[in-house]
């Protein structure tokens, strides 16, 4: 196990991390989780993902006041309607960001021993979990968060309110544009339907027949870039 350098290259971090079979890769899992934990302790972090230290795997760890837990192949299966505007920092980025998060989530994941668990998380842990999930999907805070600049910190409460209102309005407009783009792009529409289907399977709403093909549909780099461009914020100073 070793302390690793934290990656800050956007092109590397914007790639979707790959699933990993725990039972078949026990030694690699031990190495990855050990390196993440060591790097968290060395840098006094609340969380860190495998891609941030050079492993393109769907693994991350969260520091629960010294008890660092690993989450492997995680999937968020339910989110409450309650939204909080969370202020967050990422070890791979220089600045802090405001970003909307669900107050409570439910997730399923594997442990390093291969056990499958499901749990509910409330803020602030739910916000951390969502940020980590974004990171292993290749999405950074800078893609759609509101950067907290010195000018923002020094602004009056009224000015901050106006900036946040504009930011949230901008996100809604980008979401509308993205949904419209999906409806008129057959590849994106198929991808969205596949994601909805797999979510319904994870939630137990859809039962799979033994003969059904479970080959995952993968987004190519061009499609991922298209989605990221459509959801990326305009920086407000």
pLDDT in tens, 77-131: 888 878 899 999 999 999 999 999 999 999 999 999 999 999 999 999 999 999 9
Structural domains of the chain ordered from first start:
1-143 (3.90.45.10), 149-237 (no CATH)
Most confident of 113-117, 183-187, 233-237: 113-117
Cα separation, 212 vs 194, in Å, equals 13
Among candidates 4, 125, 10, which has minimal Cα distance to 71?
125
Distance CA 196, CA 170 (A): 25
Separation between Cα atoms, residue 51 and residue 161, nearest integer Å: 35
What is the average per-residue pLDDT within 35-56? Answer: 97
Cα–Cα distance, 59 to 111 (Å, whole number): 10
- Provide the pLDDT for residue 228: 46
C-alpha closest to that of 90 among 55, 57, 43: 43
Report CA-CA distances (Å) from 42 to 35, 149, 191: 10, 27, 39
Question: In 3-state terms, what secondary structure has residue 224?
Answer: helix
CA distances (Å), origin 206, targets 199, 201, 212? 9, 5, 12
Closest by CA position to 81, among listed 104, 99, 108, 107: 104
- Taking alpha carbons only, the member of 37, 44, 48 closest to residue 8 is 48
Whole-prediction pTM: 0.76
4 close to 92: Cβ distance less than 8 angstroms: no
Alpha helical stretches, state H, 91-156 = 125-136, 141-144, 150-154
Say if strands 83-89 and 96-102 run parallel, antiparallel, or are unpaired.
antiparallel
Residue 224 has pLDDT above 60, yes or no: no
pLDDT band at 208 (very low <50, low <70, confident <90, very high): low
């Amino acid at each position: 196990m070793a302390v690793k350098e934290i990656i800050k290259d956007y092109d590397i971090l914007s790639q979707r991390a790959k699933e990993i079979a725990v039972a078949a890769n026990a030694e690699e899992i031990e190495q990855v989780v050990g390196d993440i934990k060591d790097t968290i302790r060395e840098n006094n972090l609340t969380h860190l993902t495998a891609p941030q230290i050079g492993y393109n795997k769907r693994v991350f760890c969260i520091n629960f006041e010294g008890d660092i837990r690993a989450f492997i192949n995680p999937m968020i299966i339910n989110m409450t309607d309650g939204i909080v505007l969370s202020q967050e920092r990422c070890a791979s980025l220089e600045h802090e960001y405001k970003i909307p998060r669900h107050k409570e989530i439910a997730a399923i994941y594997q442990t390093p021993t291969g056990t499958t668990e499901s749990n509910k998380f409330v803020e602030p842990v739910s916000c951390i979990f969502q940020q980590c999930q974004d990171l292993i999907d290749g999405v950074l805070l800078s893609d759609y968060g509101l950067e907290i600049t010195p000018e923002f910190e020094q602004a009056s409460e009224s000015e901050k309110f106006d900036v946040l209102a504009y930011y949230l309005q901008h996100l809604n407009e980008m979401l509308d544009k993205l949904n419209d783009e999906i409806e008129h792009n057959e590849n994106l529409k198929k991808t969205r339907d596949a994601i909805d289907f797999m979510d319904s399977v994870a939630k137990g709403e859809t039962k799979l027949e033994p003969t059904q093909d479970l080959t995952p549909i993968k987004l190519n780099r061009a499609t991922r870039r298209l989605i990221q461009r459509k959801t990326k914020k305009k920086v407000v100073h």
